[in-house]
Amino acid sequence: MMDEAVAAVEAALGAGAAYADARVMLTRSEAMSAQNAEIEDMRRAESTGVGVRALIGSSWGFFAVADLSPASVRRAGERAAETAKASARVAGPALELAEVPSVVDHWESACGEEPLSVSLSEKGDLLVAVTRASLASGARLAQASYRIWDTDKAFASSQGSRISQRIRECGAEMSATAVGDSETQRRSYPGIRGQYGTQGWELVRSLDLPANAARVGEEAVALLSAPPCPEATTDLILGSEQMALQIHESVGHATELDRILGWEAAFAGTSWLDLAQMGSLRFGSELMNITADATLPGALGSFGYDDEGTPAQRVDIVRDGMWVGVLSGRDSAALAGIPAGGMVRADGHDRIPMVRMTNIGLLPGPHSLEQMVTETSDGILMDTNRSWSIDDRRLNFQFGCEIAWEIKDGRQGRMLRNPTYTGISPKFWGSMDMVGGPSELTYWGTPNCGKGQPMQIGHTGHPAVPCRFRGVRVGVR
């Protein structure tokens, strides 16, 4: 694979690129889903190819082919350079690249139990069993699925880097839906997007889907007759799964440097953050500490090197409530005058790498969920994301959860259905006064973050703990 990557880079340079890199990728994937104790879909996929990136002036040219024959690879390199040249008709300031060391290395994610080697019948039995259990507890629809990706990458750059990586990712999810006369209610486990990581099948075993199958079914049914979440301004406690979504949407995307620089303005949007304020802008309360850490073992946003060959690293994004960092790549970092963050990835050989969240997480604090409940006289506890909507500057959000409970006088009370809450990002994060502790930390994995044109689906990680926010508007419908 490395030979093809090097040949593609040389072809791009020969065609006039000032800088070029190439990734050869071989990806094997497997997915299975079940509904109501029947296997519904089972598919495997294999894809390979090379994607070549060439920088000329103000534009990247990129070209990808699946055919790895020498002539095809050379042609891809040449086409990448030709495509970059065509951009000169609508040119801007020349792009520079932040310096990164030239590296020759191999990296693999840790994997206890090879996920593609676990027998299909065992996997299928698991999905059938848990959906049968949810169904038996009264749900109308019980669904479960898993996905596995096993990816080999060879990266070569015109600056001499030669990096190979093997990354195995997998995870699973299940849900139960109860159907009423006028609405549906759903409960998911471990979360609406399941739980995924750069781990082997041991991750799926650790989720213990069977132990939770009946509960999600019962809760879905119970929600149909639960009272609705009241419309109020109150104290809000969020479980860690919903916190992962909160971090992803209102901090992760807001601090992507390509958005801040306007590169995603038409499609994904921009950011309310102004680069000139980095280091002096208060993003949230002093309990808010957010890092982008691609080195966390087993988290979904972990790797050895990003798709520009920059080593994985930990970068502070918010420290003691102050905005101090961004998610960057070599080109955006050079424009901002900061070191390259190593946060550029593509979802396949055929897509251009772009700024992507790694593991954007909230560092644990001094409290616990139990303490939050005990110390709340009047509030609501919500968990498990159900809906998500945020404006194109990542400022105004309205999120919904699958389930909520009333909190009265320090006790968790009755279940509430259709809970939602809304806020403005810095005001909301500024109201955070309790943060769960290290024992409540979960490395949530989101395998479906859409961004870019053509659309790319990113895999991101979000370490999160339960948190409490004061004076939040809830029950908006």
Partner 1 sequence: MTSRPEPDAAALADHVLDVVGGRADATVSVQRVSDGLTRFANSFIHQNVGDEHTLVTLELVNNGRPAAASTSMVDDASLARLVEDALTAASVRPVDPNWAGLCPPAPQHFNGVHYDPDTTAVGPDERAGVVEGFVEAGAGLESAGYCQTTTVETLLVNSLGQRVSDRTTQAIIDGIHRDGRADGCGSVATSSFADLDGYQVGSTAASRARAGTDPIELAAGRYEVVLDPRCVAYMMDFFSIYGFNARAVQEGRSFVSVGEMQMDPSVSIWDDAGDPRHFGPSYDSEGTPKARLDLVKAGLTVGVTHDRRTAARSGAASTGHAVPGGASMGALANNLFLGPSSTAGVSSEELVAGVQRGLLVSDFWYTRVLDPKTLVVTGLTRNGVFLIEDGVVGPAVSNLRFTQSPVAALAPGRVLGIGNDASLAPGGLHFSWNHAPSLRLEHWAFTGTASG
The residue range among 191-199, 367-375, 419-427, 463-471 that interacts with partner 1, by the rule CB under 8 A, is 419-427
Nearer to partner 1, 90 or 280 (CB): 90
Told to check if 65 binds partner 1 by CB under 8 A, we report yes
Q: What angle do CA 328, 333, 339 make, to 5 degrees?
A: 95
Nearer to partner 1, 71 or 276 (CB): 71
Told to check if 281 binds partner 1 by CB under 8 A, we report no
Residue 139: closest CA among 192, 214, 193: 214
Identity of the residue numbered 328: S
Cα-based torsion angle of the residue sequence 277, 280, 284, 287 in order, rounded to the nearest 10 degrees:
150
Q: Spell out, one character per residue from 381 to 410, where the chain touches partner 1: x when CB under 8 A holds, - when not.
A: -----xxxxxxx--xx-x-x----------
* Burial of 337 from C-beta contacts in 10 A (0-12 / 13-18 / 19+): exposed
Angle separating helix axes 209-225 and 120-136, nearest 10 degrees: 30
45, 28 Cβ separation under 8 angstroms? yes
Q: What angle do CA 146, 178, 148 make, to 5 degrees?
A: 5
Told to check if 307 binds partner 1 by CB under 8 A, we report no
In 10 A of CB 404, how many CB atoms?
A: 30
Q: How far is the CB of 455 from partner 1 (least distance, A)?
A: 6
The residue range among 298-306, 361-369, 421-429, 430-438 that interacts with partner 1, by the rule CB under 8 A, is 421-429
Q: How far is the CB of 44 from partner 1 (least distance, A)?
A: 5
Structure tokens at 2: 């490395």
Give the whole-angstrom CA distance, residue 224 versus residue 155. Answer: 52
Residues 6+ apart with CB under 8 A from 381: 236, 237, 238, 239, 373, 404, 405, 407, 412
Alpha-carbon distance values, 65 to 7, 118, 346, 454 (Å)? 13, 32, 15, 15
Q: Spell out, one character per residue from 199 to 228, where the chain touches partner 1: x when CB under 8 A holds, - when not.
A: ------------------------------
What are the φ and ψ backbone dihedral angles of 266, each rounded to 5 degrees?
-75, -35
- Selected binder of partner 1 within 47, 295, 313, 431 (CB under 8 A): 47
- Selected binder of partner 1 within 39, 224, 322, 415 (CB under 8 A): 39
- Selected binder of partner 1 within 84, 209, 344, 467 (CB under 8 A): 84
Q: How far is the CB of 12 from partner 1 (least distance, A)?
A: 13
Q: How far is the CB of 459 from partner 1 (least distance, A)?
A: 18
- Selected binder of partner 1 within 4, 21, 61, 133 (CB under 8 A): 61
* 3-class DSSP assignment, residue 134: helix
The residue range among 139-147, 187-195, 311-319, 406-414 that interacts with partner 1, by the rule CB under 8 A, is 139-147
Q: What angle do CA 243, 188, 375 make, to 5 degrees?
A: 45
- Selected binder of partner 1 within 267, 366, 408, 448 (CB under 8 A): 267
The residue range among 157-165, 261-269, 283-291, 373-381 that interacts with partner 1, by the rule CB under 8 A, is 261-269
Give the whole-angstrom CA distance, residue 8 versus residue 268. Answer: 30
The residue written with tokens 């990129």 in the block is 62
Told to check if 16 binds partner 1 by CB under 8 A, we report no
Told to check if 427 binds partner 1 by CB under 8 A, we report yes
Told to check if 22 binds partner 1 by CB under 8 A, we report no
Q: Which residues in the 145-204 window bind partner 1 by CB under 8 A?
A: 145, 177, 179, 182-184
Told to check if 116 binds partner 1 by CB under 8 A, we report no
